[in-house]
Every structure is written in C-alpha cells, then in structure tokens.
Structure 1
Amino acid sequence: MIEFGALNWGILITYIIANLLLGLVIGKKIKTDEDFYIGQKTTPWWAIGISVIATYVSAMTFLGAPAWAYNEGLSVIAIHLNYPLVIMAVIIFFFPFFYNAGVASIYEYQEKRFGKRARALISSLWLISQTMSSAAVLYATSVVLSFITGIDVIAAIFIVTLIALIYTVLGGITAVIWTDVVQSVILFTGAGIIFYALAQESSFSIMDALTQLKSEGKLNPLNMDFDFTATSTVWSGVIAMALYHTTVYGTNQMMVQRTLAAKNIGDAKKSYLLMGFVAFFIYFFFIILGVLFYAYYQGKPFENDNTIILQFASDYGMPGLMGIIAAAVMAASMSSLDSAFNSLSTVTTIDFYKKYFKQGKSEAHYLKASRLFTLLWAVIIIFPAILYHLHSSGSILEVLSKVGSYFVGAQLGMFVLGFFFKQATENGLLVGTGTGFVVVAAVAIGTDIAWPWYCLIGAGTNICITLIASRILDGKQHTLSEYTVKGQIKKFADEGWAEKEHGWYRLPGKIDPINYWLFAFFIATLLFLSSLQYLV
C-alpha cells in the first residue's frame, strides 16, 4: 500500500463518474435489443478500431507485458509479430461471411453451415473461454487497486465489476465503443508518462541500458531455435500464435461484434486494419518498458511481477501520477470487461434464450433479457477472478494466454472446416472437436510443449478427425454448401451479386489492395527486429 492522497483519488473518481455519465447519455438512445447488440450502425470506423485496440491491449498488456519482458527480455515480442498476418486472414475470409449473413452473433454461421448442435457447441465453448479470460482481466485490475489504495483484492474485484457493469447495461455496444475510445487515451497517456519518467530517473541512457541487456542475453528479439518447449520463438510467434490470434480476432464474439456496428463492410475492415498496423508498436513499447525496468531495478525479484510498473510510479512520486496510472489501468481493464459483458449477454440471448426458451417475444422483452444476462455474467466472472488471485503470481498476460490456448484450437478448427472443407459434416465436427480437446489436454499434461502450440495441435486434430469421422458417419458429401468459400463464390455468380461494396470486397477470399501493404509492413518489422541487435 502507498499513500494515495486526495489528488489521486480526485483523478480516479472523476474518471469513473465520466464513464458512468457517458453510459447514461448513450443509454437513452437504446430502444431495441438490436441497438444493444450492434448499435444503429452509425459508429465511425476509427472509433471501432480504437475500441478493438483498447479491448485487446487491456490491463493485461499495461501490467503483464512489462512483467513478462522483465523476466524474458525482448524475445517476448515474437508472440506479437503476427498481427498483420492475422488481420489479413480475418478480413479476407471471416468478415465477408458474417456480413453477408447479416448476423448479430457470429456463431449463427455455424448453424447455417453445419446445424444447431454445432452452433450450440461453439457458443458454449466461447462462453466458457471468455469468462475465464475476462476474469483474468478483472483480477489484474484489482491487483492495481489493492496495491495503490490498500483495498482488499477481492473487494476491488467487486468494485471494478460494478463500475463496468453499470455503463454497459445502460448503453450496450455503443457505450462500449465510445468509452473504449476515452479509456484508450487515458491508458496511453499513463504509459507515456511512465516511459518519460523512467528515462529521466535512470542514471544511464536508454542506449546504455540496451547495451547492458544485450550482454545479458535480454535483447534478442528473434529466437530462431526450433524448440517447441520454448514460448517466445519466431516460429511460435509467426506460426502458432498467428493461428491463436486469428481465433481471437476472427472467431471471438467480443472482438467481432463491435465491427458489426460499422456502417458497411469497408468500415469494418478499416477498423481491423488499424489494429494490424499499430499493434506491433504498442506491444513493442510495453515490452521495451519491461526490458528497461529490468535494467533500472537490476533484475531484482518482485513478489508479484505485475506490480513492477506500479512500484516505479510510486517511487517516482510525481503528484497525481498514481491517480493517472490507476485510471489508466482501470481504463484498460474496463475496455475489456464492458466488451465481454455485452458480448456474453448477446450470445446468451441470441444463441440460447431467444432460440430455445422464449421465441417470438417483443424487442423490449429481449432488450430487458439482454440487460439481465449482462448482470448475470458480471456476477459469474467474479468467481474465477478470485481463483486467479489465490493461485497466480506470474505475468497475468501469460496466464491469460495460457487459459485461452486450451479453447482456441477447437474454435479455429470449426471455422476452418466450415470455410474450406466440403466433406465436413456436423456429426463429424462434434467428434473432431471433442477429440481435439482430449489431445490438447494430453499434450498439456503429459509433455513440455509450450502453450502457443496448443492452438495448432487442437485445430489440426479437430480438422483431421472431423474429416475422417464425417466420411465414416455420413458418407461422401455431394452438395456444396453455400457457406463454404467455394459455395459463396458460386452463389455470388449465380445471383449476380456485386463482389464489392463501396470499393471493398464482400466475397470471401478476395484480397483488398491495402492487404499487400499490411504484408509489407509485417516483413519490415521482421527486418527491423533482425537488425536491432546489431544497432545496439
């Protein structure tokens, strides 16, 4: 605990009140359940893009990336090299299916392609995985509040949940997006101040620190070893984590839902392209922070590595800084929690409640149900957050990634099978997905293979077993589903539909020209990192 003071409390409370007021104002425009899920399709693409960035950066990056890099050095950046490749894959293949189908829950695609059981399965998988991931975000933020105010971590978990819940219930996805925009400004302002203060306080220059770290093996960003037990290698980053992040950005309702609020598919793609071009710089910045903290503190151990950035802010002693940092971390957390609450409610309402329990009710009824489910999921998330508090002390970013790795292979495999494999059937899919879980669990328990590879293992197993089981259980398929890539191409040709809308492709598999620039940017980041160790 540190002395927080009236100024810091004033900054933090002002931030909280501003978020609640914004939710209240936007909430007055919410009239239907569709307004709650995807807004009124008037949100500008840049706001959606900033919301996407803020949601995935979250408190995990603000706290966890420096903590991770503090221990492992610059090699951690390998996990985040793949965003340009990921964004290309998602906007080329995933977005056209979701937009052409006109869905609010992206898992409706699975029913259109396979059937009701497939949709229920992937919706359930996502509900579980998102609950665990959101709980990790909630825990990370509560660690901050406990550190700076002395509030018990468990009490802080309840407080943060309540604040994020109120404005999400009021304003739906539109409130989520606009509060994320405000929160991202606060987040990066706080991070910028910390970086400046670290540079000013250090008795050595940044270049001196990097030189020292290079001699200690902390400055090698590209580990080229073919070591499947190592987490941060180029191969795990470019191959394994590319698949992992494709699942996050392409099959995760929380991430995709906000793009469905865009005016058209072009705006949706531009919002994701923003992430593709800036993600590297964001993660590189926070990882460099961790490396510099290592030099500043001479590698001394911390009881909880996630508090390193907070400890420095406390030591620096700038008036109001801890208030800004507290607001920044709460901003990072709530930008993820509000999205999670809204998307968990959306999937529960559309994929289960509206489909199986209360069909044909009024829009007002479903809006009320959505808000009640938002409350329910907020309460549920509290319990795994408490478990994280009791059992976790390492980098919370790594903890979150490990938790997600158990589920992403199943989700990615289901969509890949739907897009590209005519012979995949629903019966085979259920068998393949179950087998994939068993294989991933066996690998995690019985081997030393690093968690980034779990997605590839799970998805690969799912695809292979599904195709075999489909042929055994249902025989050879002669009808081409219109919800495969080839099926969409045929349907566009048969119906005479335009391949483009406002200059952007609606047809899956077609590459918009800006994707070539995104790929060139990916190559440039590799070249930059390759040369970095020779420049120091």
Structure 2
Amino acid sequence: MPVLDLAIFLLYMVAIIGFGVSFSFRKRSSSDYTTGGGRLPAWAIGMSIFATFVSSISFLAYPGNAYSTNWNGFVFSLSIPLAGWVAVKYFVPLYRKLKSESAYYYLEQRFGPWARIYASICYLLTQLARMGAILYLLALPMNSLLGMSIPSIIVITGISVVVYSMWGGIEAVIWTDAVQGIILIGGALACILVIFFEIPGGPSEVFRLANEADKFSLGSYEMDFTTSTFWMILVYGLFINLQNFGIDQSYVQRYLTAKTEQEAKKSTWLGSLLFVPVSLLFFFIGSALFAFYQAQPELLPAGTAGDKVFPYFIVNQLPVGFTGLLIASIFAAGMSTISTSINSSATVILSDHFRKYIDQDPSDKTSLLVLRLSAMGMGLLAILVGLAFNGVTSALDAWWALSSIFSGGILGLFLLGLLSKAKNPQAVLAVVLGVLVIGWMSLTKILIENGLPETLANPLHTNMAIVMGTLTIFLVGFVLAWLGKKGS
C-alpha cells in the first residue's frame, strides 16, 4: 500500500476515534450518554440520520448490486421521503411528548410489558445482523489493500468502533456521524470523477455502455410481488422505512437529542431527503464501474464480481491518495452506522431491561456502567455475526432477508396501538399470527426440505415477509378489536 494512502487512512482512523473518545472526558450523566441532554443542533442530528442510512451496505453493496443487475435497489430509497413525511407529521410529536429515551415505552403503555420486551429483543437482533453485515463489507477493501485476512479486519474494525461508541455516548456518535457524512459524500464524488477521466471515451462512454446493458433500469413495472419488481421493492422499502422512523431506537433516540420539536422535524427532513440523491450516486457508481470494465475488461481479474468489484477498483485503479480517501470514506460510512447501533442498543438494554427487571432506580454511576458494558457486549457480538457473514454472495440480499425476519412485524404492533382500540389479548393473538406468517415466508425453503408440501410454499418474494407480517398483526388486531366492540 502506498505510504500516502496508508497515512491518509490511519490519520482518519486515529482522528475519528480520538474525537469520539474526547467526549468521555466531559462531565456526563446517563441522560447525556443517551440523549445528549437534548441540546444538539438540527443540522448535526440530520447528518447523523443520513450517515446512519449510508452505511457500508450503501457504499459497497449498492454499487455491487448495480454492477451485477441494475438500479432496482434504488427504488428502496424512493420510499424514504414518504416515510419521512409520516415521521414528521406523527412520530416526532408522539415521542417528544412521551419523553422516554426508549422507543418501546409507548408499546408498554398500550399493551403491557410483554410488548416492550418483544419489540426491544427484535430490535437488538436486527442491529446485530446490521452491524455484522457492515463489518463484513468494511473488511473487503482492506483485504485487497493490505492482504490481511477478512476475519482479522472484522475483529480490529469492530473493536475500534466499540472504543469510541462505548465511551463517548450519543454526542460522540452524532458529531462523528456529521463529520463522516461529509467525508463519505466527498469520497463517492471523487470516485465518479476518476471513472469519468480514466475510461476511454470519457463520461459519454459510461452512459452509452451502461445504457446498452440496461444498467439504469429500475426493474420490471409489473404488479408482481413474487420477484424483485419496482413495486415489490417500493412497498418493501416503505414498510422498512416506516419502521425505521416509527419504532427504530436509532431514529427515535435522535428525536430526543434536538432542542425543540421543530428542530427534531428539521433534522428528520434533512437526513431523509439527503439520502435519496446520495444513494442514487452509489447506484450510479455501480453502473459506471460496469461500463469502466466493459471498456477495459483486461483490468478486472476473472471471478471478481458483485460486492468485490468496487473494493478492487478502489485499490487498483485510483491514483495514489484517492485510495486512502475512499477507504476512509467507506470506514466513515460503516463506523457511523455501527456506532449508532451500539449506542441505541445499549440504551435499549438499560431502559427496557435493566431498569425494568434488575434495578428500577439505579444510580447515575450504575446506569453509565450498564450502558458502557452493554455497548461493549453488543459490539463483541456484532463481531461474531460479521465473521458469520464471511463468504455470502450478496451482503445486501442477506441483510434485507435478515432484517425482514428479525423485525418481527413490530411496525404492525406500533400501528395497531396508534390507529386502533385493540387491547392486550387481541394484540397478543395478532403478534403470534404475524410471527408465524413471517416465519413461514422467511423459512419456506427450509420447511420444504423438512417435509412441507410445495403447495404450501411462500409464493411471494422473501422481502415481503416484513410487509405481510406487519399487515397480519395490524389487520388481525384491528378486526378483533372491532368484533370485541361490536360484541359488547
């Protein structure tokens, strides 16, 4: 690795870890650790929301997806503005009014302690899957760059993020996210410029070759939910993003870090709207890479495909200095999301489990200790999950499948509480049925291998599991509540 690239990358790593850890030297309370005392500026919170969206899943898997197929995955991003509008209209005022640092306090108020436990465990499992996928993707370019094994890189990267997340709290997360969000946009733009200047024929050749291969297509527009069509991804994206804004601790916690409700709304709009053009940029990189290697096939070794193309390009085609910048950008994207997940997961463990069932009135010192130990524990578990990801064909597809399973349809339970008169027994039955639907849809291949008749197989795309699970919980609970009211 050229000395300049290594210097840029190492300087970034040392600076960002040092910056994050510096927040631990201030006088802090557990409230500062989880909500920043409700004093952070809207622009920084908005950049943090944006940086959480743009993980290394976006930075590496989006270009890999576009390189292998087309822009079908970008349809996911098109659902974000609508989900953001719903968040600003309903979710932000709700959580600001409740004033609880837990996103799942509301579910306990509506349906009892079981709902809070169920939702918080689903959240923790989802975050472990997310962090594991990101750690794996972060390891790909470093594997090409340094020759270190992927497992070694996953362990080193995971520990590095845990250090500043564990000690710095939400302020460290948000301020480092803001810096990293700017860096990753700059890195992506730099990559596009290099492709434009290095491809024979210039920028027009990128558009010509990519267009001829249909690389700008958003997918089929048929109303078919059995395959990855435009409408399937749009519906899936809408449900996932409503869940993100409505019941995801990572986002809800940020609503409480703003000074006022109006500031919280501004930050939500900034984070959600900024992601759309930036995710478009990442998909364009994938199409541009396809054109780049179509024009110069001798530059790409046989067998290099999917998620590994962009890391190979970064290491082998970028000028000295740019490689270090891009690697730093990728780590910026991944570290911002992992740090967010670690901090929010620690908050969930403290609020939804420790304070509920172990010590209902812990001292501030004890709360901080629990937060830091929980952050360390979740970080170490995420490293193990990242090691399990090693060797998957598409990290994006694997992440989407796991997020559908682990979400558990908690958006359906949240909407049931918000939009219906359903009571505890009705909600319990609805959740049981919803989980059964999610399990059947997600595990249909395994069930068939173990004796389930093929006539009972899931006919829809696997990503629709979260959609059908959410709808099952909401509709069953709604109908049961209506029947109960009618019977009385």
TM-score, scaled to structure 2: 0.91
Q: Deviations over 1:49-99 (max 9, x none)?
A: 001111111111110111001122133322221111010111212111111
Compare 345-354 and 315-324 and name the one that shifted more: 315-324
Report the equivalent of 2:383: 382
Instruction: Describe the shift of the 1:207–1:451 C-alpha distance in structure 2 as closer, same or farther (beyond 3 A).
Output: farther
Given that 1:409 and 1:457 are in contact with CA atoms closer than 8 Å, whether structure 2 keeps it comes out as no
Matches within 5 A, 1:300-319: 302-319=303-320
Selected match of 2:431 from 430, 433, 444: 433
Instruction: Describe the shift of the 1:82–1:471 C-alpha distance in structure 2 as closer, same or farther (beyond 3 A).
Output: closer
Report the equivalent of 2:485: 476
Report the equivalent of 1:356: 357
Selected match of 2:241 from 238, 245, 268: 245
Report the equivalent of 1:295: 291
Report the equivalent of 2:145: 148
2:458 is equivalent to residue 447 of structure 1:
yes
Report the AA paired with residue 237 of structure 2.
Answer: M
DSSP 3-state at the match of 1:203: coil
2-side partners of 1:218 and 1:136: how far apart? 25
DSSP 3-state at the match of 1:297: helix
Matches within 5 A, 1:65-104: 65-104=62-101
Matches within 5 A, 1:135-534: 135-221=132-218, 223-233=220-230, 235-298=231-294, 302-390=303-391, 392-394=392-394, 396-408=395-407, 410-422=409-421, 424-444=422-442, 445=444, 446-468=457-479, 475-476=484-485
Report how far residue 443 of structure 1 moved: 2.2
Selected match of 1:119 from 105, 116, 119: 116
Instruction: Describe the shift of the 1:62–1:399 C-alpha distance in structure 2 as closer, same or farther (beyond 3 A).
Output: same
TM-score, scaled to structure 1: 0.84
Instruction: Describe the shift of the 1:61–1:369 C-alpha distance in structure 2 as closer, same or farther (beyond 3 A).
Output: same
Report how far residue 123 of structure 1 moved: 0.8
Compare 51-60 and 146-155 and name the one that shifted more: 146-155
Report how far residue 347 of structure 1 moved: 0.3
Q: Deviations over 1:400-421 (max 9, x none)?
A: 2221122336111011001100
Report the AA paired with residue 333 of structure 1.
Answer: G
Given that 1:244 and 1:409 are in contact with CA atoms closer than 8 Å, whether structure 2 keeps it comes out as no
Q: Deviations over 1:382-412 (max 9, x none)?
A: 211111114x122x23322221122336111
Given that 2:197 and 2:203 are in contact with CA atoms closer than 8 Å, whether structure 1 keeps it comes out as no
Compare 121-130 and 214-223 and name the one that shifted more: 214-223
The percentage of aligned residue pairs carrying the same residue is: 26
Q: Deviations over 1:465-524 (max 9, x none)?
A: 32455578xx43999xxxxxxxxxxxxxxxxxxxxxxxxxxxxxxxxxxxxxxxxxxxxx
Report how far residue 195 of structure 1 moved: 0.6
Report the AA paired with residue 288 of structure 1.
Answer: F
2-side partners of 1:478 and 1:283: how far apart? 50
2:56 is equivalent to residue 59 of structure 1:
yes
Instruction: Describe the shift of the 1:144–1:243 C-alpha distance in structure 2 as closer, same or farther (beyond 3 A).
Output: same
2-side partners of 1:240 and 1:329: how far apart? 26
Gaps of 5+ in 1: 480-536
Report the AA paired with residue 485 of structure 2.
Answer: K
Compare 375-384 and 206-215 and name the one that shifted more: 206-215
Q: Deviations over 1:220-270 (max 9, x none)?
A: 23631112122241x224333211211122211012212311101111111
Report how far residue 278 of structure 1 moved: 2.0
Compare 440-449 and 90-99 and name the one that shifted more: 440-449
Report the AA paired with residue 438 of structure 1.
Answer: L
Over the residues paired in the alignment, what is the CA RMSD in angstroms? 2.1
Report the AA paired with residue 256 of structure 1.
Answer: V
2-side partners of 1:230 and 1:145: how far apart? 34
Report how far residue 317 of structure 1 moved: 4.3
Instruction: Describe the shift of the 1:317–1:122 C-alpha distance in structure 2 as closer, same or farther (beyond 3 A).
Output: closer
2-side partners of 1:211 and 1:230: how far apart? 28
Report the AA paired with residue 470 of structure 2.
Answer: A
Report how far residue 213 of structure 1 moved: 3.1
Q: Deviations over 1:162-204 (max 9, x none)?
A: 1111111221000000111111122122211111000001113
Report the AA paired with residue 376 of structure 2.
Answer: L
1-side partners of 2:269 and 2:342: how far apart? 25
1-side partners of 2:45 and 2:187: how far apart? 22
Q: Deviations over 1:438-477 (max 9, x none)?
A: 11222231235223322221111112232455578xx439
Instruction: Describe the shift of the 1:407–1:471 C-alpha distance in structure 2 as closer, same or farther (beyond 3 A).
Output: farther
Given that 1:78 and 1:236 are in contact with CA atoms closer than 8 Å, whether structure 2 keeps it comes out as no
2-side partners of 1:311 and 1:115: how far apart? 51
- Equivalent residue pairs, number: 470
Q: Deviations over 1:280-325 (max 9, x none)?
A: 2111111111111111112876445222122112232411222212
DSSP 3-state at the match of 1:343: helix
Report the AA paired with residue 404 of structure 2.
Answer: S
1-side partners of 2:219 and 2:6: how far apart? 42
Report the equivalent of 1:128: 125
Report the AA paired with residue 10 of structure 2.
Answer: I
Report the AA paired with residue 283 of structure 1.
Answer: S
1-side partners of 2:72 and 2:368: how far apart? 46
2-side partners of 1:369 and 1:214: how far apart? 54
1-side partners of 2:12 and 2:464: how far apart? 40
2-side partners of 1:462 and 1:316: how far apart? 50
DSSP 3-state at the match of 1:218: coil
1-side partners of 2:255 and 2:352: how far apart? 19
1-side partners of 2:209 and 2:327: how far apart? 31
Report the AA paired with residue 393 of structure 2.
Answer: S
Report how far residue 362 of structure 1 moved: 0.9
2-side partners of 1:49 and 1:244: how far apart? 19
Given that 2:33 and 2:169 are in contact with CA atoms closer than 8 Å, whether structure 1 keeps it comes out as yes
Selected match of 1:23 from 16, 20, 23: 20
